Structure 1
Amino acid sequence: MALPIGVLISGSGSNLQSLIDKIAEGSLDASIKLVVSNKADAYGLERAAKAGIATRVLKHGDYSRREEFDAEMVDALKAAGVKVVVMAGFMRIITSVLLKAFPERVINIHPALLPSFPGVDAQGQACTHGVKIAGCSVHFVDEGMDSGAVIQQAAVPVFSGEDRDALQKRILKMEHRILPQVVQWLSQDRLSISGRQVILKKATVDQIHPDNCLINPPLEAGF
């Protein structure tokens, strides 16, 4: 049975589109029951409409407290039959109201290798700090700022002279790959949490050489 998910967005919805595409091609065993946006002009709403997915706009400014806003989201998501909540570019910190309604079933995609560079403009932070390797993370959500247990990460090299926008585009390509993968693992009930460790059942670790790594700038001969 396809996993019923709800997707929270605030902007263009490119990660939403990656989920829609993977479902359409049969790689992802999930069904998007509702897309919720806190911004009425979010392009992701158009993406959802084109795919025949129900949408709901809840403007956070209409609520005096975060908890009231989250309670309205919970009602909408529950009414749609959602079991897992995917934050895909949703620019709001959620509260215990939503987390208690979907315990260990709220995930988020973040454009950095957490715990480095939480919060907004992670790609810009990476460029400012001059890191050599950046990337993205899918993590379970808690009440902190991008502080929940990490499920999967993808790393990309940061090239000399590369600006924020160029780095963002390359990270985004990885986001579009790992977010659907994590949702698929959830649909297969293959994830469990032990402290801060997320354990993937039946992981194909034998396919990964223990010395496999990304080094940037690359090592030269003799090292």
Structure 2
Amino acid sequence: MYQVGYFVSGRGRLFQSAVQNLKKFEIFPAFLLMDEKADQSLEQFCSVREIPVYRFDGRNRNQFDHFVLEVCLEHNPDLIMLTFDKIIHPELLARFPRRVLNVHMALLPAFKGLNALSRALKTGVRFVGATIHEAVEQVDAGAIVAQAQVAVRPGEDTDSVGQRLFPLLELMYNQVIVWYAQKRVECDAAGRIWIRDASYGELSISPTPEISIRSILNDILPP
């Protein structure tokens, strides 16, 4: 059994998708950490599935760092997935080397930092996307694992392009967790990450996903 710890700020749709789609791969949630911005409905989602859930206030940095490390050491997940806007303390990264992944809403290394999607659109780029990368001390600087992209249409804003990007990100997110569970992630001498035996020929998502999922957008979730 492979266990994943999830850090969430916001609606937590990627977390919910992984919980519902990855059971068939013997991948299960170790816990959910929610910050002060996370949707309260996630607590009910976890309760009915008996997933340990913790809510913290990330505005107190010292308490946040201590609390997060304590939870992770208690559960010792195989992998930690980040979908929130807090910087991870170096001690946590040191305790879980190459086991902490971050989702960033831009095609790194461009547009690091907050509000990446809106900043990208303002520049007039023709493609926007999302990156999953290994977290390191420097913000959004870790080795890239996978990326998804969509072309920008005239007049689009962050909401409309985000709606088109999300299904690709959702599939990529689930697939990356599966690749880590399958121990197919390799790092070359230059520090670049490659997935063993994966295809890199797909334009919209690279590496090309190998799994199929039921999108969270098609599910009716608890209120």
TM-score between the two structures when normalised by the length of structure 1? 0.83
Q: SS in structure 1 opposite 2:64?
A: helix
CA contact (8 A) 1:109 1:175 kept: no
The amino acid that maps onto 1:31 is F
Residue in 1 that maps onto 2:15: 16
Change in Cα spacing, 1:3 to 1:213, as seen in structure 2 (3 Å) is closer
The equivalences for 1:82-101 within 5 A come to 82-88=77-83, 90-101=84-95
Q: SS in structure 2 opposite 1:35?
A: strand
Q: Which runs of 5+ in 2 are unaligned?
A: 205-223
Residue in 1 that maps onto 2:31: 34
Residue in 2 that maps onto 1:59: 57
Q: SS in structure 1 opposite 2:33?
A: strand
Q: Which runs of 5+ in 1 are unaligned?
A: 215-223
Change in Cα spacing, 1:165 to 1:40, as seen in structure 2 (3 Å) is closer
Identity of aligned residues (%): 25
The amino acid that maps onto 2:71 is A
Q: SS in structure 2 opposite 1:61?
A: coil
Change in Cα spacing, 1:117 to 1:48, as seen in structure 2 (3 Å) is farther
Farther-moved stretch of structure 1 (119-128 vs 144-153):
119-128
Deviation at 1:41, TM superposition (A): 5.2
The amino acid that maps onto 1:42 is D
CA distance in 2, matches of 1:213, 1:20: 27
CA distance in 2, matches of 1:199, 1:213: 16
Deviation at 1:50, TM superposition (A): 3.8
The equivalences for 1:42-81 within 5 A come to 42-43=39-40, 44-63=42-61, 65=62, 69-81=64-76
Change in Cα spacing, 1:70 to 1:192, as seen in structure 2 (3 Å) is farther
The amino acid that maps onto 2:92 is L
Structure number, greater radius of gyration? 1
Q: SS in structure 2 opposite 1:156?
A: strand
Residue in 1 that maps onto 2:112: 118
Runs of 4+ aligned residues of structure 1 deviating over 6 Å after TM superposition are none
Deviation at 1:60, TM superposition (A): 2.2
CA distance in 2, matches of 1:182, 1:105: 12
The amino acid that maps onto 2:119 is Q
CA contact (8 A) 1:109 1:138 kept: yes
